[in-house]
C-alpha cells in the first residue's frame, strides 16, 4: 500500500485542508497520513479564522511519521508561519526521490486575509527548489510573482514564466472559475512545455476545497505512476466530479465531496 502525507490545515467543514486531502487519497486507493499546521474555526461573528499549531509540534508530528514509516508522496498545503516553512524544508530535503506537491495557500475564499511579502519570499527561496510542482490559484500566482491578477491565458503564461524564473520546476496555475467564459481553464507550465486544460464550469456553490482536491489528486496520480500531463488531466476530471457532487453547508456555501465516486458516481468527461 502506497502512503502519502498531507501537511496542512484542518477545515472543520471538510471542504478543503487535510480532510479533503485524506478523502482524495482514499479515492485513489492510497493510504493518507497527516501533519497539522493550523485549525480553522468560526468566531462568534461568523468570521473564519485560523488557530496555529506551534512549529515545534509540527516538527514532532513529522518526526513521528519519519520514525514510523516511509512515504511515497507528499502534498504540502497551508503553512501558517515562516517557522513552519523551515520545518517543512528540513523534512523534505531528504525526500527528493518522491513526488512533492506544494499548494501555496496565500489567500482564502472565506476571508480577505493575505500573507505578507517576507513570508512569500521565504516560501519561494526555501521550498520552490525542493518540490516537484507548485499549484497556485490565480490570486496566489499573482502574489507569488508580484504581478497583477491575470485575466487571460497569455497573462497566465507570463505569470508561470515568472514563477519558473523564481525556481519552480513545474507549475499548475488553477484558473478555475475566475477566468471569463464558460470553461474552467488551468495551465500546466515548465521551461520546455506548457499545456492548457479546460472543463465546462459548473454553476454551484459547492466549490470550497476544489483547489485542495485538485492538488491532492495530482499528488496521488503521480504516486500511481502517471506522467505529469495525464496526472493533471485526470485530476481535473476528478475535481469536476467532486464539485458536482458537493455538499451544501448552508444557503451560501458548500464543500466538494469526493466520496460520490465510491457510491457509484461517475466522473464527467465533458
Q: What is the CATH number of the domain that holds 230?
A: 3.40.1190.20
Q: Is residue 188 part of a domain?
A: yes
219: nearest Cα among 19, 93, 75, 85 = 75
Percent of the chain exceeding pLDDT 90 equals 70
- Region 162-167 average pLDDT: 95
Number of structural domains in the chain: 1
pLDDT at 201 over 60: yes
- Pair 237, 267: CB distance under 8 Å: yes
Q: Is residue 30 part of a domain?
A: yes
pLDDT at 260 over 70: no
Q: Is residue 268 part of a domain?
A: no
Q: Is residue 267 part of a domain?
A: no
Model pTM score: 0.92
CA distance 236 to 198: 8
Exposure string (b/e) for 245-262, b if CB count within 10 Å is 16 or more? bbeeeeeeebbbbbebbe
- Region 83-110 average pLDDT: 90
- Region 69-95 average pLDDT: 97
Instruction: Look up the domain containing 233 and give its range.
Output: 3-261
CA distance 92 to 45: 38
- Region 184-191 average pLDDT: 94
pLDDT at 265 over 80: no
147: nearest Cα among 136, 133, 132, 159 = 159
pLDDT at 173 over 70: yes
Q: Is residue 79 part of a domain?
A: yes
Q: Is residue 270 part of a domain?
A: no
Which residues are 73's β-sheet partners?
4
Please tell me the predicted confidence (pLDDT) of residue 196.
Answer: 96
Please tell me the predicted confidence (pLDDT) of residue 115.
Answer: 58
Q: Is residue 161 part of a domain?
A: yes
Q: Is residue 269 part of a domain?
A: no
21: nearest Cα among 36, 2, 34, 38 = 34
Please tell me the predicted confidence (pLDDT) of residue 211.
Answer: 93
pLDDT at 131 over 50: yes
Amino acid at each position: 500500500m502506497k502512503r502519502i502525507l498531507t501537511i496542512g490545515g484542518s477545515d472543520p467543514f471538510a471542504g478543503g485542508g487535510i480532510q479533503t486531502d485524506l478523502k482524495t487519497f482514499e479515492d485513489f486507493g492510497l493510504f493518507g497520513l497527516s501533519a497539522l499546521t493550523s485549525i480553522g474555526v468560526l468566531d462568534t461573528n461568523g468570521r473564519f479564522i485560523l488557530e496555529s499549531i506551534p512549529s515545534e509540534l509540527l516538527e514532532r508530528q513529522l518526526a513521528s511519521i519519519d520514525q514510523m514509516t516511509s512515504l511515497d508522496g507528499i502534498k504540502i498545503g497551508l503553512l501558517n508561519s515562516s517557522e513552519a516553512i523551515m520545518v517543512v524544508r528540513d523534512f523534505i530535503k531528504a525526500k527528493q526521490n518522491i513526488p512533492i506537491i506544494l499548494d501555496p495557500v496565500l489567500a482564502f475564499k472565506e476571508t480577505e486575509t493575505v500573507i505578507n511579502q517576507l513570508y512569500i519570499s521565504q516560501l519561494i527561496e526555501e521550498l520552490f527548489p525542493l518540490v516537484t510542482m507548485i499549484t497556485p490559484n490565480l490570486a496566489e500566482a499573482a502574489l507569488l510573482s508580484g504581478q497583477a491578477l491575470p485575466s487571460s491565458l497569455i497573462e497566465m503564461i507570463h505569470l508561470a514564466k515568472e514563477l519558473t524564473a523564481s525556481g519552480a520546476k513545474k507549475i499548475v496555475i488553477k484558473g478555475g472559475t475566475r477566468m471569463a467564459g464558460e470553461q474552467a481553464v488551468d495551465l500546466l507550465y515548465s521551461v520546455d512545455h506548457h499545456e492548457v486544460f479546460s472543463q465546462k464550469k459548473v454553476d454551484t456553490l459547492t466549490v470550497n476545497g476544489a483547489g485542495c482536491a485538485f492538488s491532492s489528486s495530482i499528488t496521488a496520480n503521480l504516486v500511481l505512476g502517471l506522467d505529469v500531463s495525464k496526472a493533471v488531466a485526470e485530476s481535473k476530471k476528478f475535481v469536476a466530479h467532486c464539485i458536482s457532487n458537493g455538499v451544501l453547508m448552508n444557503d451560501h456555501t458548500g464543500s466538494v465531496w469526493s466520496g460520490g465516486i465510491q457510491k457509484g458516481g461517475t466522473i464527467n468527461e465533458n
